Structure 1
């Protein structure tokens, strides 16, 4: 499960409206009839039109300054294994989103408990993903893409009479490079914008910075994780604990759908890899044989080259460990193994 929380991208003009973001989330509905479209939902309703989302989010901004984000977006991207486990079911993903938002509300540190009823949010299911420049497959194809582009420029120059040369040989070289590119999908070189194969369902959530009463701030981007400050002579609790949220999100999915999560799929593993790679690999070595093999398969599917997981600490040379850490880290960042 890969979850990312992002503040509203205000840009240089500090646009307050959620319209652009909502319009972006409507991209999969373009060209479809209203019956075919995937509409927004919230904690109690389905089939919410985008105009209502914009109106309610934009109206819920009392006492926020021009430079304050008016909303946050939460992207919830289950792994291929998680999606397969629930049959890539849209209804199950929506059920899970509603459970997730309970965990979101509970992760605020406030004097009074925050419940999901206090949170103004709308969510949208998307079924497709496209490759971007950040994807490993695109990056590793880049050398081939650059050479192909260079050859295509030469072909164009010959056609326009600006250069002389054998266009046939250049076209053959282009086709050879297309075939030799290391990452292919359906016989074609993977490029930015290409739709990804397999289960790609994910959820986008737009959540207001203010609570439903438009009187209290609920910012998941607070620099205070869990702290207390003095306000008018009284101690006031503040902050949002992202660690608590991410761990709860993972546990709720597992409990809700009976999913057995491997060590390398856990948020705990990602934290260990970031902060203490030695402990990460020590924990990996300590897994039962069947779980260790399952971990290896998950890493392999995520594109991490693991010829063999070391069987003892002596084999875990620092250089090899850091090379593995880099590969696993990239897979985790891309959500390939679901963390």
Structure 2
């Protein structure tokens, strides 16, 4: 499970309207019959139109400055292993979203009229998408790039030859291009993986637009707060503030596991990934101490996700910094692409 929370920006500035983002989320509906389209939903409603989402989000920004986010984007990216646990993906992902938004509300260390924030205070709209495409940050694109560069140059040479500005044999160059296409390390269905190509397999994920202001348009609820859960004194009164991201990310996994009876491996956990990035030695110590079956599953998951699995170090001498950095780089990419657990 890979979850992100980001303030929505356009050209480096905070978006003043959700219109462009909503249009982006509607792209998968293009050319589809109404019955096959995915619509927005929230905690209590279904079949919500994009126009209604724009109206509700854009109309819920009282007293917010141009320099402040009007809304946030939350993406929920289950791994293919997690998706396989679902009986009815569309229905189950909606159920999970609604449970996760309860966790989101609980992560605020705020009070509204003397009570804790609840999901009833959150104005949000969610949408399921079924397609993911390869981006420039994906490992497959980066490792295919040297071949892509050579192919682009050869195609340029062909155009120059055809225009009479270069001497050469077009057929020979076309054969070189065909060979490079085959030699590229990452292929999908017999074709070189390129940017924009849809990823194969189950790729369902969820996008959520959540308003910065609460449902009453009177209280600011920022998950991007620089303050962790804490209390400060303002005007002689103790005021709670902050959003606990760690708690939200960790709880979101437990919620999924509880709702769908999913047995999460250590390498799939938020705490495990966090431990690896901060303390690789402790990470491998925990990994090596797992029961045999769980350890085998852990190595299998890491290997499938693209992490370079070498002989796992078992003592401080073997735990060379070069090895750690190489493994860390691989895990970083796997986490960002949401591929741990594929």
**TM-score w.r.t. length of structure 1:** 0.96
- For the residues of structure 2 that align with 1:139 and 1:14, how far apart are their CA atoms? 29
- Residue 255 of structure 2 is aligned to residue 252 of structure 1: yes
Partner of 1:82: 82
Picking from 89, 113, 124, the partner of 1:121 is: 124
- For the residues of structure 2 that align with 1:191 and 1:145, how far apart are their CA atoms? 8
Shift of 1:14: 5.2
Q: Secondary structure of the equivalent of 2:75?
A: strand
Picking from 160, 172, 175, the partner of 1:157 is: 160
- Residue 246 of structure 2 is aligned to residue 243 of structure 1: yes
Shift of 1:333: 2.2
Shift of 1:119: 0.2
Shift of 1:276: 1.1
- For the residues of structure 2 that align with 1:144 and 1:316, how far apart are their CA atoms? 34
TM-aligned CA distance change 1:127 to 1:156, over 3 Å:
same
- For the residues of structure 1 that align with 2:303 and 2:95, how far apart are their CA atoms? 31
- For the residues of structure 2 that align with 1:209 and 1:149, how far apart are their CA atoms? 44
Shift of 1:303: 1.2
1:10, 1:69 within 8 Å by CA — same for their partners in 2?
Answer: no
Partner of 1:97: 97
- For the residues of structure 2 that align with 1:283 and 1:168, how far apart are their CA atoms? 56
Shift of 1:70: 0.5
Within 5 Å, which residues of 2 pair with 1:1-12? 1-11=1-11
Per mean C-alpha deviation after superposition, the further-off stretch among 5-14 and 152-161 is 5-14
Q: Secondary structure of the equivalent of 1:122?
A: strand
- Residue 69 of structure 2 is aligned to residue 66 of structure 1: no
Root mean square deviation, CA, Å? 1.5
Shift of 1:84: 1.0
Shift of 1:310: 4.0
Q: Secondary structure of the equivalent of 1:274?
A: helix
Runs of at least 5 residues in structure 1 that lack an aligned partner in the other structure: none
1:2, 1:338 within 8 Å by CA — same for their partners in 2?
Answer: no
Shift of 1:299: 0.7
Shift of 1:313: 5.4
- For the residues of structure 2 that align with 1:30 and 1:13, how far apart are their CA atoms? 28
Picking from 195, 204, 216, the partner of 1:201 is: 204
Per mean C-alpha deviation after superposition, the further-off stretch among 90-99 and 13-22 is 13-22
